[in-house]
Amino acid sequence: MKILVLGSGAGGGYPQWNCNCEMCSGVRRGTTRASWRTQSSIAVSRDGQHWVLLNASPDLGHQLRSNPALHPCGAPRDTPIKAVVLLDAQIDHVTGLLSLREGPPIDLYSTPSVFEELTTGLPILPVLQHYCGVHWHLLPVAGEQTAAEFHVDALPGLSLRAIAIPGKAPPYSPRRNDPSVGDNIALLIEDTATGKSVFYAPGLASVGGPEMLWMEEASCVLVDGTFWTEDEMIESRLGAKAASEMGHLPQTSRPGRPGMIAALDRIGARRKVLIHINNSNPILDEQGVQRLQLADHGIEVAYDGMEIEL
């Protein structure tokens, strides 16, 4: 199985257009060693010819141009992207669908909750009906059903599992403060020929018992790397909200609240990778002490263009 990191940044990317924090101004000035990042999305394939996109970032057009594996080949109009799975309805994860409008109907896999957001509060799907059209594939994760196994028609040999995870509905949603099962899912994708698997969760509000069990099954995890500390945005005077209020588990622990590093310490995956990294996160600095700390725990930081072969 091949995994291609199309974008490794959080919403806004890195550096963020309106931000003068240490990380953003440092990379603009050339005093911080870090690479620019587009908004998060990955592509997965078995054969390198047929790919499924996990989330569709607003930077999708740029991401497709930059990755030869995703260029058209053969017919006059063609694409190796055979399907899209959405893990939530956040703007930074779904608006790239609009950049696929010139192609064939999009085979779109998501939960009832996400389909509802994308037909009401952010009506991308009705809009796309006037362009390429969308084939809906509903993943039954709602109410009491918290996990569902499925297959993507064009990628036989991959077994996918959608898993409800804790999180919030997007800021534009009328259901923002009334979370329900299916607002946020993680994906566990297994190559049935090799048994190798990847767990993808760019937004993870907490790692409880169920998340831990799913993560333990994976050969590789790509998980929420948004914030280093709970109060990162507040302390740098970038925002008013703590990481947990935004549905993101910070990497570092605080009293009684283990962080992502502690969670990753408890699993046996061969590759542990942070993705969806916010512009404020000191782990962006390749020469920072935080990178050494991560390395001590066997944790990698995703970058745009990163390829993982399992």
Please report how close the Cβ of residue 10 comes to Zn ion at its closest, in angstroms: 5
Indicate the SS3 state at residue 193.
Answer: coil
Q: Which is nearer to ligand HKS, 126 or 239 (CB)?
A: 239
Partner touching 24 among Zn ion, ligand HKS, none, CB below 5 to 8 Å by kind? Zn ion
Site string (271-310) toward Zn ion, x via CB under 5 A: --------x-------------------------------
Q: Which is nearer to ligand HKS, 93 or 272 (CB)?
A: 93
Amino acid identity of residue 134, one-letter, is V
Phi, psi of 23 (to 5 degrees): -70, -45
Range in contact with Zn ion (rule: CB under 5 A) among 5-13, 72-80, 101-109, 293-301: 5-13
Q: How far is CA 211 from CA 51, 78, 187, 251, 264, in A?
A: 26, 37, 11, 16, 11
Please report how close the Cβ of residue 65 comes to Zn ion at its closest, in angstroms: 22
Q: Are 94 and 100 in contact (CB under 8 A)?
A: no
Q: Which is nearer to ligand HKS, 219 or 278 (CB)?
A: 278
Please report how close the Cβ of residue 132 comes to Zn ion at its closest, in angstroms: 25
Q: Of all residues in this chain, which one has the CB nearest to ligand HKS in the complex?
A: 11
Q: Which residue has the tokens 């509802």?
A: 116
Retrieve residue 176's tokens: 């923002």
Q: Which is nearer to Zn ion, 82 or 93 (CB)?
A: 93
Partner touching 168 among ligand HKS, Zn ion, none, CB below 5 to 8 Å by kind? ligand HKS
Q: Are 136 and 114 in contact (CB under 8 A)?
A: no
Beta bridge partner(s), residue 277: 9
The whole-angstrom separation of Cα 307 and Cα 72 is: 19
Q: Are 17 and 38 in contact (CB under 8 A)?
A: no
Q: Contacts with Zn ion in 88-147 (CB under 5 A)?
A: 92
Give Cβ neighbours of residue 301 (< 8 Å, ≥ 6 apart). 8, 225, 273, 274, 277, 283, 284, 291, 294
Please report how close the Cβ of residue 24 comes to ligand HKS at its closest, in angstroms: 9
Q: Is 24 in the site for Zn ion (CB under 5 A)?
A: yes
DSSP 139: -
Q: Which is nearer to ligand HKS, 89 or 134 (CB)?
A: 89
Q: Is 222 in the site for Zn ion (CB under 5 A)?
A: no
Range in contact with Zn ion (rule: CB under 5 A) among 19-27, 73-81, 148-156, 192-200: 19-27
Binding region for ligand HKS (CB under 6 A): 10-12, 16, 90, 92, 168, 170-171, 238-239, 246-247, 278-280
The residue from 7, 9, 11, 12 that contacts Zn ion (CB under 5 A) is 11
Amino acid identity of residue 200, one-letter, is Y
Q: Report the b/e string of 275-294 with b at 16+ CB within 10 A.
A: bbbbbbbbbbbeebebbeeb
Give the distance from CA 94 to its chain's centroid: 11
Q: Which is nearer to ligand HKS, 41 or 110 (CB)?
A: 41
Residues lying near Zn ion in the complex (CB under 5 A): 10-11, 19, 21, 24, 92, 279
